[in-house]
A and B are shown apart, each in its own frame.
Chain A
Amino acid sequence: MPRIKIESDKCTGCRLCEMACSLQHIENTFNPKRSRIRVFTMGDHCYPVIAGPYTEVECTSKTDVIIDGHEYDGCILCRASCPAKTIFKEPDVDIALKCDFCGEPPDPQCVKICPSDCLTLLED
């Protein structure tokens, strides 16, 4: 199964990954809200999150995380596309978005463009 290693410590928050993903999946279009990778800043750091599968039900328990002394909603770091979230869904139509590694063989454009070497494709 292909994996993408995310080294959040290296992320600068530039969001070029979101741009590359959007252009790859939607012809001639840049739209971060339709990207399957999103970068969120929490505390002093940035966290790239890659869209996982859709779950039909919302979690029955929630987590809060404390990062650099600030409290955040744990859902932000979750990969799932779920009924409780508006991210990782096509805007307006609500269709779930999921990372497809940009095809077979995997050629993730986010990994290719990342200028900070924060994302690495692993195959095993």
Chain B
Amino acid sequence: MDAWTGKVLRVDLSKGEWEDEELDLDLAEEYLGGRGLATKILFDEVDANVDPLSPENKLIFATGPLSGTGAPTGGRYMVVSKSPLTGAIACCNVGGDFGSELKYAGYDMVIFEGKSPKPVYLMIQNGDVEIKPAEHLWGKRTHETDDMVKAEMGDKWKALDTHVACIGPAGENLARIACIMSDKHRAAGRSGLGAVMGSKNLKAIAVWGSGAVTVTDGESFKEATFAILELLKGSTTIEGLNKYGSMSSQFPMNRMGVLPALNYQAGAFEGVANTNARPLHAKLVIRAGACFACPIACGRVSRVTAPDEYKGEGWGPEFETCSLLGPNCGVDDLAAITKANYTCNELGIDTMSAGGTIACAMELYEKGYLKQEEVGYELNFGNAKAMVELVEKLGLREGFGDVLAEGGYRVAEKYGHTELFMGVKKQEMAAYHPQGLQGEGLAFATANGGASHNRAGVYASELWGFPYKTDPLAIEGKAAMCVELQHYKAVLDAVGVCQYIAFGKVEAEHIAPLLNAATGMDFTVESLMLAGERIWNLERLFNLAAGFTAEDDTLPKRLLEQPLLTGTFEGQVNRLGEMLPEYYQLRGWDEKGVPSKEKLAELALD
């Protein structure tokens, strides 16, 4: 078998046992891999109504057929589970080198079931699997855990090539916005999957392998690879990502008035002069860092040397992190934002949800719903010191951090003002303002895993022209674009490449020849997009079974009813109500958002 390794590892943590299973190649053809296959397994094997933090939930690490090949950005993997933050299906796309190494170690996928009676970690070396005690790792931060696990590989050369995914104290403490850190600096960030891992007493997974990923036709594969590399090389957007990372968009977005500030009360923030890509690169960034096989290298290796309380080193901050912990919290101190970013990575917290949650608490405080005695800080917007210290407390569930660890929705709910929570399906939004970006509002509202910029990314069209430019204020055509992008992104997540290649105008027509050269199969643009639609609908079916309805496909009321008070898009609200019926109709769903029998038959999901 080419491209896939053909093997799936199933680990029963309750019994401390594991077994190898053969990959079902027919299913792989239908669902591609990664997000697709993992969704299929979760849907088939997990009752959608289970408590996400119970042993009955499963946690799936899944690579795609292109992971571990030299396909541009071909090192990605997905983590799929039922989310403790949203209660919906969660899928996180992760970079770094863990995914490719998992395949070299012999597996396409690892499925974790049950709950270990004691803390453990999993070590895979060339198909040899060991469940090892992790009491000595419990409580450790992610970087130390990574180093300690590598030191246990027994051979310094092996340790160099070992890649680790682990949780920090936040995951152990079941913070609902805990993430899984991979290769120290990359994350399965959103939806609280770190807590699922923590609930299973699984601290880490270490992989090493000297195996290969083979392709059917190396020459054609090389040709298709260079065609994509040429496209990426010719793109000024990709050049910008290489030079200034994802932060390249913060300054222009602020100027356009679509950068969320002060918990989405505004679309621009004066302090961006201090937080944008230029000061970041002048003061903190050391070099560009790439994930496996990625020519874009949007990662930023950075170091804070002053002031003393914010000293640290690591990767970041990226755009979402910097914008949500920065402008959205009214904070303009770049060193503080970067420190909060490092702390999130070390404790294993989703930086985006952390920013959204703290911003929500700040607004609750400013409106008088939350008292200083309770928080321990004057929690006004712009209090950088409080923001940094609360991130630490959040991960450790200390003091008010214990409340924040539940995520923004539950914080707002506790104080009786859910209208101040800026998210969808209980997940905090990414840093794109839906009152200036109509289509992105629809994308947030309809994303299966709760608000996410990575399920469709209509913002890229509205802001930068990918796949083509649309007017941010127009609603015509946005539903169709959202549907198409949701399918395409599902394809990218399933085959094991990064969504950023779409910004280099890499489309399904470029992915199909690459995948065919790798697998020896006969994928077409149509069959790939159909697979994407199948994945999307299956996720939807999981959510419907979990009790979600059309009422959950919405945005915070404020964004729908109260016009934006400042900036370019002053006076605008998001017109979701006008786009959503068209979206359902285009999807072949009824007005309640339920896929029709015909649609399910068309997708072979009946």
The reply to whether chain A is a binding partner of chain B is: yes
Q: Evaluate contact between A30 and B69: CB separation under 8 angstroms.
A: yes
Q: Check B515 for interface membership: any CB of A closer than 8 A.
A: no
**Closest CB-CB distance, A21 to chain B, in whole Å?**
10
Q: Check B85 for interface membership: any CB of A closer than 8 A.
A: no
- Given A9-B287, A12-B289, A113-B229, A29–B295 Cβ distance below 8 Å? no
The residues of B that contact A28 with a CB separation of less than 8 Å are 2, 214-218, 221
Q: Evaluate contact between B290 and A12: CB separation under 8 angstroms.
A: yes
**Closest CB-CB distance, B292 to chain A, in whole Å?**
6
Q: Check A13 for interface membership: any CB of B closer than 8 A.
A: yes
- A30: which of B68, B217, B229 is its contact (CB, 8 Å)? B68
Q: Evaluate contact between B293 and A45: CB separation under 8 angstroms.
A: no
Q: Check B70 for interface membership: any CB of A closer than 8 A.
A: yes
Q: Check A34 for interface membership: any CB of B closer than 8 A.
A: yes
Q: Check B291 for interface membership: any CB of A closer than 8 A.
A: yes
- Given A30-B68, A33-B210, A15–B160 Cβ distance below 8 Å? no
The residues of A that contact B229 with a CB separation of less than 8 Å are 113, 115
- B residues within 8 Å of A by Cβ? 2, 68-70, 72, 97, 104, 155-158, 160-161, 209-218, 221-222, 229, 232-233, 286-295, 297, 299, 301, 303, 313
The residues of A that contact B290 with a CB separation of less than 8 Å are 12-15
The 8 A-B pairs with the shortest beta carbon distances in the complex, nearest first, are A19-B70, A115-B295, A91-B210, A14-B290, A31-B212, A12-B297, A12-B290, A28-B218
Please list 13 pairs of residues, one from A and one from B, whose beta carbons are closer than 8 Å in the complex, sorted by A's number: A14-B294, A16-B293, A19-B70, A23-B221, A28-B2, A31-B211, A31-B212, A31-B213, A33-B161, A33-B209, A34-B212, A45-B287, A86-B155
- Most A-side CB within 10 Å, residue of B161, B212, B295: B212
- Given A30-B70, A30-B214, A14–B157 Cβ distance below 8 Å? no
The residues of A that contact B313 with a CB separation of less than 8 Å are 44
A13 to B186, CA, bound (A): 14
**Closest CB-CB distance, A76 to chain B, in whole Å?**
7
**Closest CB-CB distance, A86 to chain B, in whole Å?**
4
- A44: which of B157, B212, B216, B287 is its contact (CB, 8 Å)? B287
Q: Evaluate contact between B104 and A31: CB separation under 8 angstroms.
A: yes
The 8 A CB mask of A27-39 against B (1 = contact, 0 = none) is 1111111100000
The residues of B that contact A34 with a CB separation of less than 8 Å are 210, 212
Q: Check A73 for interface membership: any CB of B closer than 8 A.
A: yes
Q: Which residue of A lies closest to B211 (CB)?
A: A31
**Closest CB-CB distance, A23 to chain B, in whole Å?**
6
- Given A86-B157, A87-B157, A44–B301 Cβ distance below 8 Å? yes
A23 to B70, CA, bound (A): 9
Q: Check A92 for interface membership: any CB of B closer than 8 A.
A: yes
**Closest CB-CB distance, A80 to chain B, in whole Å?**
13
- A residues within 8 Å of B by Cβ? 9, 12-16, 19-20, 22-23, 26-34, 40, 44-45, 73, 76, 85-87, 91-92, 113, 115-116
**Closest CB-CB distance, B238 to chain A, in whole Å?**
10
Known: A14-B297, A22-B212, A30-B215. 8 other contacts (CB 8 A): A9-B287, A12-B289, A14-B293, A27-B218, A28-B218, A29-B215, A30-B70, A31-B211
A6 to B388, CA, bound (A): 40
A45 to B297, CA, bound (A): 13
Q: Which residue of B lies closest to A92 (CB)?
A: B210
The residues of B that contact A26 with a CB separation of less than 8 Å are 212
A13 to B183, CA, bound (A): 13
The residues of B that contact A91 with a CB separation of less than 8 Å are 210
**Closest CB-CB distance, B208 to chain A, in whole Å?**
9
A20 to B97, CA, bound (A): 16
Q: Evaluate contact between A85 and B291: CB separation under 8 angstroms.
A: no
A91 to B292, CA, bound (A): 21
**Closest CB-CB distance, A102 to chain B, in whole Å?**
13
A33 to B217, CA, bound (A): 21
A20 to B286, CA, bound (A): 27
- B292: which of A9, A14, A76 is its contact (CB, 8 Å)? A14
- Given A33-B161, A76-B160, A116-B297, A16–B70 Cβ distance below 8 Å? yes
A40 to B97, CA, bound (A): 12
Q: Evaluate contact between B210 and A14: CB separation under 8 angstroms.
A: no
- Most A-side CB within 10 Å, residue of B156, B210, B232: B210
A30 to B294, CA, bound (A): 15
**Closest CB-CB distance, B252 to chain A, in whole Å?**
24
- Most B-side CB within 10 Å, residue of A15, A20, A34, A85: A15
Q: Evaluate contact between B210 and A31: CB separation under 8 angstroms.
A: yes
A40 to B156, CA, bound (A): 13
Q: Evaluate contact between B288 and A12: CB separation under 8 angstroms.
A: yes
The residues of B that contact A15 with a CB separation of less than 8 Å are 97, 290, 292-293
Q: Evaluate contact between B286 and A32: CB separation under 8 angstroms.
A: no
**Closest CB-CB distance, B22 to chain A, in whole Å?**
22
The residues of A that contact B211 with a CB separation of less than 8 Å are 31
The residues of A that contact B294 with a CB separation of less than 8 Å are 12, 14, 16
**Closest CB-CB distance, B297 to chain A, in whole Å?**
4
The residues of B that contact A116 with a CB separation of less than 8 Å are 288, 297
A79 to B97, CA, bound (A): 23
A85 to B222, CA, bound (A): 31
A45 to B286, CA, bound (A): 9
